[in-house]
Amino acid sequence: MRPSVEAIGGLALVVGAIALVIFIAVEATLIYSAWHYRASRMPGPAPQIAGNSRLEIVWTAVPAVILVVLFVLMTGTMREIGASVAGGGTPAGMRILARGYQWWWEYRYPSSSGEVVLANELHIPVSTAVDLDLESADVVHSYWIPGLGGKTDMIPGRTNHLRLYASRTGTFTGQCAEFCGVEHAWMRLTVVAEPRADFDRWLAAQSAPRTAPTGAGAAGERVFTSNLCVSCHSIRGTGAKGEAGPDLTHVGSRTTLAAGVLKNDAAAMRAWLADPQRYKPGALMPRVPLGDAELDALVSYLEGLK
Ligand code: CUA
């Protein structure tokens, strides 16, 4: 199968080519007529002609034929895309639940041990059809990775479907495409398409509970579990089971924080934890009052959760 973006892109090229031919024909006729029938060559009022059945039939039939051709091409493309979504067509290699939140993304992967909940960074195997079930936890979001598939809304109370297909490896980026509140711009999408073996390794690592911390990390885990953090975040392997915010079991392995606001490193993590509202005003993440030593330990813990 080919990605739906390629089907849509191919159709757009055909439609564009037809439109270009029409444009050139119309403009050429216009320029020729303006020049050929100019007043200096043909003074006086133009001859008045009414009714020409042959011409009228032609200019009705030609656009009708063009529309029929476009209709057939379009329904063919729609059938191709539709077959790839929710039943029919090539069976999906994988089905993942994607859920929009103000303002981040949750992913639920099927795994042998049930379901693995991850956040913000989607990995998919290359050359494999991946079906996303799209849901929203709050308001309407829209899931859009231009290089991988069409734009599809995430609507509270219903499940939409989108098929992604990466024909090459690489990192694909996208963006929430439906205004969903003040931090709409910071709902960035990152998708890593990688060879099956790399993907399997990644999913196995992400499915595991958190690596037990040592040293400063162990102190950091105590800071985490004894503060407000646990009411919103989960870290598998600890008592933290909150569901309002992103799962943090492997937060250290992600490339960004806060769905794209900050590059994920220790300095950024510390700055983010010290004052989330400075970087993402309006986000549900509050500022948890922590001392410097506690912050350092927490940063060391979270960055260690690879
Ligand atoms: Cu979510 Cu815009």
Q: Which amino acid is at 269?
A: M
Domain boundaries, the chain: 1-29+54-90, 94-204, 216-303
The residue to which tokens 């250290």 are assigned:
252
CA distance 201 to 209: 15
Q: Which amino acid is at 111?
A: S
For ligand 1, whether the C-beta of 141 sits within 6 Å is: yes
Instruction: Specify the ligand 1 atom closest to the Cα of 102.
Output: 1
pLDDT digits (tens, 9 = 90+) for 73-108: 999 998 887 766 544 455 667 899 999 999 999 999
Task: Say yes or no to pLDDT of 9 above 50.
Answer: yes
Instruction: Specify the ligand 1 atom closest to the Cα of 177.
Output: 2
Nearest CA to ligand 1 atom 1: 141
**What is the reported pLDDT for 86?**
47
Buried b (16+ CB within 10 A) or exposed e, 111-138: eeeeebbbbbbbbbbbebbbbbbbbbee
pLDDT digits (tens, 9 = 90+) for 50-62: 889 999 999 999 9
- Give me the architecture of the 216-303 domain, per CATH: Sandwich (2.60)
For ligand 1, whether the C-beta of 100 sits within 6 Å is: yes
The CATH fold assigned to 94-204 is: Immunoglobulin-like (2.60.40)
Categorize the per-residue pLDDT at 300 as very low, low, confident or very high, splitting at 50, 70 and 90.
very high
For ligand 1, whether the C-beta of 180 sits within 6 Å is: yes
Taking CA atoms, 166 is separated from 101, 242, 297, in Å, by 25, 33, 39
What is the mean pLDDT of the segment spanning 23-29? Answer: 97
User: E strands along the chain, which residues?
Assistant: 94-101, 104-111, 114-119, 121-125, 129-136, 141-143, 152-154, 160-165, 170-175, 188-194, 256-257, 262-263
Indicate yes or no: pTM above 0.85.
no
